[in-house]
């Protein structure tokens, strides 16, 4: 039986890296993003070359009506959903010092990165529980992409760090709740990954990496995250629900 994965923010950066790996696994894809469908048409067509079904659902997950439209669209197009990959998120609009963060900038980031992700996950978790009760042998799972910023403080990215930390606890709460239904939940904490989000500060990070920020002397690639997600959805890490997996080139390893 074909399996279906919904990837928020799935048409660029880390989300696209995940989509490509899952496509190679033969998993049908429901992709979400904020760009108009015409702007992601090429990406969708490229993914279809792997012989899978791919559909795009435009919407901002911070908006209640958009979340419902995404969910309704997935149900209409696929009829079911096995995997949710929470990946959508934005960088701070302004990298302001923690003593100077504007309330409207804080709200913008938290609404998308934390609140929207929570309520989308809540909707889909309820749907997954219903499907699991009807088909106990079916595989379901939730994976949330957070960041090493869930544990590392940046004074010029306070809201971003707080949102990622909040997502980490969100994942733990869903892990506990969904365990009774046999639905595993995982968190992936990427380090410094080469995406459009990090493009403006790429040179700064590369210099820091050369000075020892990470053990592996390079920035990560979106496919590095995709490989881990694919392994989780295959069930390669069975009996490991709730685990937090850092994909950071060794950044979080303590050193003397």
**pLDDT value of position 115:** 98
Q: What is the mean pLDDT of residues 195-224?
A: 92
Predicted confidence band at 196 (pLDDT cuts at 50, 70, 90)?
A: confident
Helix (H, G, I), strand (E, B) or coil at 58: strand
Strand locations in the chain, DSSP E? Answer: 4-8, 28-33, 54-58, 83-86, 141-145, 185-190, 244-247
| Predicted confidence (pLDDT) per residue in 18-68, tens digit | 999 999 999 999 999 999 999 999 999 999 999 999 999 999 999 999 999
Name the pLDDT band for 1 (thresholds 50, 70, 90): confident
**What is the pLDDT, as a whole number, of residue 2?**
92
Question: What integer best gives the mean pLDDT of the chain?
Answer: 97
Cα(246)–Cα(149) distance, rounded to whole angstroms?
A: 11
Tens digits of residue pLDDT in 121-147? 999 999 999 999 999 999 999 999 999
How confident is the model over 235-246, as pLDDT tens digits? 999 999 999 999
Mean pLDDT throughout 59-84? 98
7 pLDDT above the threshold of 90 = yes
What pLDDT score does 111 carry?
98
* pLDDT at residue number 188: 98
Q: What is the structure's pLDDT at 59?
A: 98
User: Are 83 and 5 in contact, with CB atoms under 8 Å apart?
Assistant: yes
Q: Other CB atoms closer than 10 Å to residue 47's CB: what's the count?
A: 25
pLDDT value of position 197: 80
| Band of residue 198 on the pLDDT scale cut at 50, 70, 90 | confident
Domains defined for the chain, CATH in brackets: 4-247 (3.40.50.720)
- Buried b vs exposed e over 130-158: b needs ≥16 C-beta within 10 Å? ebbeeeeeebbbbbbbbbbbbebeeeebb
The pLDDT of 248-255, averaged and rounded, is: 96
Average of per-residue pLDDT across 231-237: 96
Cα separation, 51 vs 139, in Å, equals 21
* pLDDT at position 200 over 90: no
Average pLDDT over residues 172-199: 95
pLDDT at 226: 98
Please, are residues 198 and 183 in contact by the beta-carbon 8 Å criterion? Answer: no
Please state the rounded mean pLDDT for residues 93-119.
Answer: 97
SS3 label, residue 71: helix
Pull the structure tokens for residue 54: 């791919």
Specify the pTM: 0.96
Scanning 10-63, the segments in alpha helix (DSSP H) are 13-24, 41-48
């Amino acid at each position: 039986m074909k399996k279906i994965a919904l990837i928020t923010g799935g048409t660029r950066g880390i989300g696209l890296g995940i989509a490509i790996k899952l496509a190679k696994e033969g998993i049908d894809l429901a992709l979400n993003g904020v760009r108009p469908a015409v702007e992601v048409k090429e990406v969708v067509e490229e993914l279809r070359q792997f012989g899978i079904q791919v559909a795009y659902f435009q919407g901002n997950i911070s908006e209640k009506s958009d979340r419902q439209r995404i969910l309704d669209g997935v149900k209409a197009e696929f009829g079911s959903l096995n995997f949710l990959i929470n990946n959508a998120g934005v960088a701070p609009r302004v990298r302001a010092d923690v003593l100077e963060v504007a309330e409207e900038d804080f709200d913008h980031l938290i609404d998308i990165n934390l609140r929207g992700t929570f309520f989308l996950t809540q909707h889909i978790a309820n749907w997954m529980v219903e499907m699991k009760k009807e088909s106990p042998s079916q595989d379901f799972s939730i994976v949330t992409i957070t960041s090493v910023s869930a544990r590392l403080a940046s004074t010029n990215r306070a809201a971003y760090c707080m949102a990622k930390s909040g997502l980490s606890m969100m994942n733990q709460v869903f892990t506990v709740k969904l365990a009774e239904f046999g639905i595993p939940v995982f968190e992936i904490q990427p380090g410094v990954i080469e995406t459009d989000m990090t493009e403006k500060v790429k040179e700064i990070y590369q210099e820091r990496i050369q000075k020892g920020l990470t053990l592996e002397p390079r920035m990560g690639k979106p496919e590095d995250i995709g490989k881990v997600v694919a392994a989780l959805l295959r069930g390669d890490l069975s009996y490991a629900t709730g685990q937090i997996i850092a994909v950071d080139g060794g950044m979080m390893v303590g050193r003397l």
